[in-house]
Chains A and B, each alone.
Chain A
Amino acid sequence: MTVILGQLFTGVSIGAVLLLIALGLSLTFGQMNVINMAHGEFIMAGAYTTYVLQKSISGAGISLIVALPVAFLVSGALGALLEWLLIRRLYLRPLDTLLVTWGVSLMLQQLARDIFGAPNVQTRAPDVLTGHITVIGGDDPLTFANSRLFILGLAVTAVVALSLTLRLTPLGRRIRAVVQNRDLAEVSGISTGRVDRTAFFIGSGLAGVAGVALTLVGPIGPTMGTNVIIDAFLVIVVGGIGQLKGSVIVAFVLGALQSVLEYSTTVSVAKVLVLVAIVAFLQWRPQGLYTLRTRSLV
C-alpha cells in the first residue's frame, strides 16, 4: 500500500517537474508557435543564477528565495534578447526557428562551459529541503520529499500566476488577442512586436524559475537543458497548443505513467513506452488533448 501511495506521489512530483519546465513553453511555443530549442539553456541559466547567487549570499534558504525572481529576470532578459535579435525575423518560418535556436543552444552550452567550467557545479539546498515528511510511520513508512513538495508548490503557483496574468491583466488580453488574430490586433492599435517580446520574456523567465527548482533535484551543468527539452515540448504538444489546462493535465498524466512503468519495468523501458504512447496518442488526436476551435481549414 505504501509502495503504491509512494509511487503515486512520485508520479505527481515527476509531473510537477515536467509542468515547471514546460510552462514557459506553453507561452512561447503554445501561444506564439515558436519552437525554441534554447529553452533548455534558459533553464540552465536559471540554475547557474542560483549557483552564482549562493557565492555572494551565504544562507542557502535565502539565496534560493532570492534566486527565484533573479533567475526569472536573467532568463527572461536572455529570452527577450533572443526574440529581438533572431526570432522576430522568423515568425513566418517556425521550423527554421527550431534550427536557428538549436545553434543558439549549442553556443550557450559552450558559453556556460567557458564561464563556469566543464564539470557540474554544486549548490547547497537549505536543510529543510533535503529532508522529508513522514505521512505514514511504522515499518514501511510513507515519506514525501520536501524538495518535491516545494517544486509542486512552485509549479502550482506558477500555473496560477500565469493563467491569471493571461486572463485578467491588460497584458494578458493583448497576448491572447495577438495569438488569435495578429492582423486584427495590429489594426486595433496593439503593438504586436512589443507584445511578442513581453510574452517571450515571461516564457523564458519561467524557464529560469524552473532552473532554480531543478537545482534541488538534479545536476547543474552545461548540458542540463538538453536533458529535459524534448520532454517539455512533448507535454505541450500532447496537451494541445495554446491550452494551459491541457499541459497541466498531460504533465501529471505523463508523470504518473512514467512512475508506474518505471516501477513495473525499468527506467529505459518506461521511457521508450511513454514515448511510444505519446506517438500513438498523437495519431489518435493529432492536435493534442485540447484544441483551440477555429474555423480555419489549415
Chain B
Amino acid sequence: MTTTTPLAPKAGRLPGGRRRFTAARPAAGFVAAALVLFAVAPLALSDFRLGLLAKYLCTAIVAVGICLAWGRGGLLTLGQGVFFGLGGYAMAMHLKIADAGPGHVPDFMQLYGTATELPWWWRPFANPVFAIAATVLLPMAVAAILGSFIFRRRVKGAYFAILSQALAAAFAIWLVGQQATTGGTNGLTDIQGFFGYDLNDPVNQRMVYFVIAAVLLLLIALARQLMHSRYGELLVAVRDSEERVRFLGYDPANVKLVAYVVAAGMAGLAGALFVPAVGIISPALVGIVPSIELVIGAAVGGRASLTGAVLGAIGVAWARTALSEEFPAAWTYFQGLLFIVALAFLPGGLASLAAIVKRRRRNQGLSGDTA
C-alpha cells in the first residue's frame, strides 16, 4: 500500500517518480487497514466517535483523488469542494424527496418557497438510481467540461489554483442565493432516512460507516492500480516534464484530464456519503475554505503517497476535532502551525519522514562502518 520513496535530491520535485515495486507490503498494509476499519474501530469507538470517523473517512476519499491528481499529476485541485458539493447535493436532494414522501415537497420548500411541486431540475433525483449515478457522474461531467478547456489552453499552476477557487466561490454564492430550491445558507438539513433505513438508528449509522469504509478501501485499491499502470507512469511524467511527454507523442492534456475527472468523481462520491453520515450538506462545505481544507489533509500526510494522503486527511480532520475540543478558543493557532511546519519543512508530507529517518540511519550506519 505504501509507495513512499526517499525524496528526490532536487528541490521542488516530489517523491513518486520511481518506485521499487514489492507486492507483499501493500497487500499486508491493505489487510491491516481493513482490520482497523472493520474490526478495531467499531469495537473501540463510541457511536459518536465512530460517526466522526465516518466523516473523516469521507475527506480521506477526497484525498485519494487529490493524491492522484495533485500528487501524481501536479494539478493543484483547489476546487474539490465544488465536486464534493455536487455529489452531496445530488444525494441529499434524493434523500429529502424520499423523506417528504410521494406527493409532498421537502420541508424547507414549504417554508421558503411558494412551490407546491418540485422544481423541474429536482424531479429526476426522485429516482434513486439516477441520484446515485449523478453523485459520481455529475462531478465527473463538470470536471470533464472544465478540464478539457483548461488543459487544452495549457492553464497551469497558480492560474489553475485561483481559477478553481473562483469557481468554488461562485458555486457557493449561487447555492446561497437560491434559497427556495437549494435551502440557501442552511443547505439541506435534517435528513432522516437513507434508502429506506432510518438514520436515527445507531445500527444504521454503523451501516453507513461500513459503507464509507468499504468505498474508501475500494477506491484506494483502484487508485493504486491506476498509479501502477502505464497511465500512472505517464501521469508522473507529465507532472515532471510536460514538454518531453508532448515531444514523445502523447497529449498531456488528455493525461491530466483523466486524473482530474477521476479525482472529481471521487470527491463527488465522498460528498454523497458525507450526507447520510453527517445529515447535512450546505454551501459552507463547498466554498473556498473547505476546498483548501480538503487539500491540506493530503498535503500534510504526503500528497504523492496514497497512504500518506489518506492518513493525512484523517489525521488533520481528527486534529481539528481534538484541538477544538481541547482548546476551543485557541485551536486555530495549533492548526495553522501544523500546516506551516508540515508543508514548509516536510515537502513530501509526514509520509516522507519515514524515508528520511531510514536514510539517516543508513548514512549513520555507513559512517560507523568506515570509522
**A–B contact via C-beta, under 8 angstroms:** yes
Query: Would A94 and B158 count as touching, CB distance under 8 A?
Result: yes
- Counting CB contacts under 8 A, is B9 at the interface? no
Q: Mark B329-358, 1 if CB is under 8 A from A, else 0.
A: 010110111111001110100000000000
Least CB distance from B48 to A in Å reads 26
Instruction: Kindly state the separation between the CA atoms of A99 and B17 in the bound complex, as whole angstroms.
Output: 23
Instruction: Kindly state the separation between the CA atoms of A23 and B64 in the bound complex, as whole angstroms.
Output: 37
- Please indicate the chain A residues that have their CB under 8 angstroms from the CB of B150 in the complex: 283, 286
Interface residues on B, range: 35 or more
Instruction: Kindly state the separation between the CA atoms of A35 and B157 in the bound complex, as whole angstroms.
Output: 10
- Counting CB contacts under 8 A, is B140 at the interface? no
Query: Would B343 and A282 count as touching, CB distance under 8 A?
Result: no
Instruction: Kindly state the separation between the CA atoms of A142 and B360 in the bound complex, as whole angstroms.
Output: 73
Least CB distance from A215 to B in Å reads 24
- Counting CB contacts under 8 A, is B118 at the interface? no
Q: Which of A98, A102, A103 contacts B337 (CB 8 A)?
A: A103
Q: Total interface residues on A, using CB and 8 Å? A: 44
Query: Would A96 and B344 count as touching, CB distance under 8 A?
Result: yes
Q: Which of B11, B78, B177, B243 contacts A266 (CB 8 A)?
A: B177
- Counting CB contacts under 8 A, is B159 at the interface? yes
- Counting CB contacts under 8 A, is B38 at the interface? no
Q: Which of B301-350 contact A (CB under 8 A)?
A: 330, 332-333, 335-340, 343-345, 347
- Please indicate the chain B residues that have their CB under 8 angstroms from the CB of A237 in the complex: 158-159, 162-163
Q: Mark A165-207, 1 if CB is under 8 A from B, else 0.
A: 0000000000000000000000000000000000000000000
Q: Chain A: interface secondary structure?
A: helix
By beta carbon, the residue of chain B nearest A278 is: B166
- Please indicate the chain A residues that have their CB under 8 angstroms from the CB of B335 in the complex: 103, 106
Q: Select the stretch in A42-50, A66-74, A85-93, A127-135 that faces chain B.
A: A85-93
Instruction: Kindly state the separation between the CA atoms of A272 and B337 in the bound complex, as whole angstroms.
Output: 33
- Please indicate the chain B residues that have their CB under 8 angstroms from the CB of A268 in the complex: 173-174, 176-177
By beta carbon, the residue of chain B nearest A110 is: B332
Q: Select the stretch in B216-224, B263-271, B288-296 that faces chain A.
A: B288-296
Least CB distance from B297 to A in Å reads 11
- Please indicate the chain B residues that have their CB under 8 angstroms from the CB of A102 in the complex: 292, 296, 339
Q: Can you list 14 contacts pairing A with B, beta carbon distance less than 8 Å?
A: A100-B339, A100-B343, A107-B340, A233-B165, A241-B158, A268-B174, A268-B176, A272-B170, A272-B173, A279-B166, A283-B149, A283-B153, A286-B150, A286-B159
**Beyond the given A230-B169, A272-B173, A283-B150, could you list 8 further A-B residue pairs with CB under 8 A, ordered by the A residue number?**
A90-B344, A95-B161, A96-B343, A100-B340, A102-B296, A107-B336, A266-B177, A279-B167
Closest 7 CB pairs of A and B: A103-B339, A92-B12, A107-B336, A275-B170, A106-B336, A268-B177, A103-B336
